[in-house]
């Protein structure tokens, strides 16, 4: 499990203590030592795309930590008020400035070690020109044999790309749900 991260009550600002609440709960929660507010912590969604132009895939070189300088598929944390697909499209625009049409859900990966669920959609680029935002050093297209496997930022990116090329070889794209321990 990820390390506890809450120190102060979001309601009154007092210190919290991690303990099992008295309401029949079975997990330790951040409970305010003054107003007793219970702060629940749940997994976050990371949403992104596999953007494709002809037989090439778009990758972005990260200009932010963690993994500065490593290559990634465009992805980021889902925002309140948007759907997973909208979030994936927004992140793709922010990080690459690409023009594209969203496709089907491709991978769903639970990453319990960091308390995250990552979802990637396929996306069809409608132009090979990009305008990366400040979070990206460079956005470019890669043929399969050019993919910098040793320079990818995250295992979820590697697993998604591996499945993308496997599915493309057999000529049929599925939705892949699996866990990353």
The number of residues that bind Zn ion (CB under 5 A) is: 8
15 lies in the site for Zn ion, by CB under 5 A: no
- Using rule CB under 5 A, residue 12 touches Zn ion: yes
Residue 177 has a CB neighbour count (10 Å cut-off) of 11
In angstroms, give the least distance from the CB of 33 to Zn ion: 8
10 near Zn ion, rule: CB under 5 A: no
Pick 20 or 35: Cβ nearer Zn ion:
35
Q: Is 32 in the site for Zn ion (CB under 5 A)?
A: yes
Say if CB 158 and CB 59 are below 8 A apart.
no
Residue whose C-alpha is closest to residue 147's, from 49, 69, 58, 48: 58
Interior angle at CA 132, CA 136 and CA 99, nearest 5: 135
The residue ranges of DSSP E strands in 83-158, in sequence order, are 100-111, 116-125, 136-142
Query: CB of 25: closest distance to Zn ion in angstroms?
Result: 17
Our finding on whether 35 is near Zn ion (CB under 5 A) is yes
Q: Which is nearer to Zn ion, 37 or 99 (by Cβ)?
A: 37
Tokens of 37: 């507010």
By CB under 5 A, name the binding residues for Zn ion. 9, 11-12, 14, 32, 34-35, 37
């Amino acid at each position: 499990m990820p390390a506890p991260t809450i120190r102060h009550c979001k309601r009154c600002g007092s210190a919290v203590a991690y303990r099992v609440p008295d309401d029949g709960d079975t997990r330790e929660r951040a409970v305010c030592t003054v107003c007793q507010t219970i702060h629940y912590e749940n997994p976050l969604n990371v949403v992104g795309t596999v953007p494709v132009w002809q037989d090439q895939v778009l990758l972005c070189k990260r200009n932010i930590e963690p993994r500065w300088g490593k290559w990634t598929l465009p992805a980021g944390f889902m925002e309140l008020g948007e759907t997973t697909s909208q979030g994936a499209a927004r992140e793709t625009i922010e990080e690459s400035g690409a023009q594209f049409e969203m496709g089907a859900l491709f991978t769903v990966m639970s990453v319990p070690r960091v308390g995250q669920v990552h979802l990637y959609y396929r996306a069809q680029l409608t132009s090979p020109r990009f305008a990366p935002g400040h979070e990206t050093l460079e956005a470019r297209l890669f043929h399969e044999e050019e993919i910098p496997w040793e320079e990818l930022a995250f295992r979820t990116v590697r697993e998604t790309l591996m499945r993308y090329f496997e599915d493309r070889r057999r000529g049929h794209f599925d939705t892949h749900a699996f866990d990353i321990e």
